[in-house]
Amino acid sequence: MMDASTSHFSVCVAEFARQLGKGEMCALAKLYDFTASRLLRYAETLTRNREDAEDALQAAMVRITLRPKALAGADHPWPYFLKVVRNEALKILRKKRAACSLATVAPIGVTESCQLDQQEANAQIRAAIRELPPAQGEVVVLKIWEGMTFLEIAEVLGESPNTAASRYRYALEKLTHILQPMANEVTYA
């Protein structure tokens, strides 16, 4: 699901990172404006909480500002940036709950599906993604919404591509189960 816009996005992030690496501080605002909403969305998948996601985003921005050359020198700056956000989000989770891991974060309760318009359907899907264990939810976000390959996802997660792929497979199985009624409506409408 990697399309031209995703590729363009990565190229732009790399360009801002390069400018930041050269000490051009104005690139920081550009980088923030360009990536903040996606980073926030990804962080929220991990933290399940908007405030924590915002804190993670802020901390990641500070980290990137302090080590701009690490981002500029990364083979894939966008996955690297996501990884920084992930680390900060996990740090916040760890602070909040001692010995907390992604696997132990409780999923949010299932909501009842009903007659939905498109907006509600989308909200339902996003809620279904939040119902997943965060370790699986983040793979779905990275794979489908960020259009990353399993190799890039593995780089972000610090796991093997096979692990990322299997988490994705499990996640889709669960999502299929949760969203089955809605999927039937869409398929056969």
Partner 1 sequence: MRDKQFSNIEQMIFAARDYPEPSAALRRQALAKSVRAYHERAQRRRVWVAAALLFGVIWTAGSAQRLLAQPARAFVDRQQTQLEDNADWVAESAGSHGDEWGTVERSFQSRFKQSRILRAALGTPSAPGS
Question: Which parts of this chain interact with partner 1 (CB under 8 A)?
Answer: 1, 25, 28-29, 32-33, 36-38, 40-41, 44, 50, 54, 57-58, 61-62, 64-66, 121-123, 125-126, 129, 140, 144-145, 172, 175-176, 179, 182-183, 186-187
Q: Shortest gap between Cβ of 23 and partner 1 (angstroms)?
A: 10
Q: Is 23 left (phi over 0), alpha (psi -120 to 50) or beta?
A: left
Nearer to partner 1, 41 or 100 (CB): 41
Sign of the alpha-carbon torsion through 148, 153, 105, 57: negative
Question: Minimum Å distance from CB 71 to partner 1?
Answer: 12
Q: How far is the CB of 186 from partner 1 (least distance, A)?
A: 6
Q: Which is nearer to partner 1, 25 or 104 (CB)?
A: 25
Of 108 and 183, which has the nearer Cβ to partner 1?
A: 183
Minimum gap (Å) between residue 158 Cβ and partner 1:
24
DSSP calls for 104-159? GSPPPPPPPP-S--HHHHHHHHHHHHHHS-HHHHHHHIIIIIS---HHHHHHHHTS
**Cα separation, 103 vs 25, whole angstroms:** 38
Q: Which two tokens stand for residue 188?
A: 């056969």
Q: What residues contact residue 104 under an 8 Å CB cut-off, 6+ apart?
A: 97
Structure token pair of residue 26: 């104005």
Q: Nearer to partner 1 by C-beta: 55 or 155?
A: 55
**C-alpha to C-alpha distance for 153 and 6, rounded to whole angstroms:** 14
* Nearer of residues 12 and 172 to partner 1, judged by Cβ: 172
Nearest approach, Cβ of residue 11 and partner 1 (Å)? 19
| Residue 126 CA neighbour count, 13 Å, CB half | 12
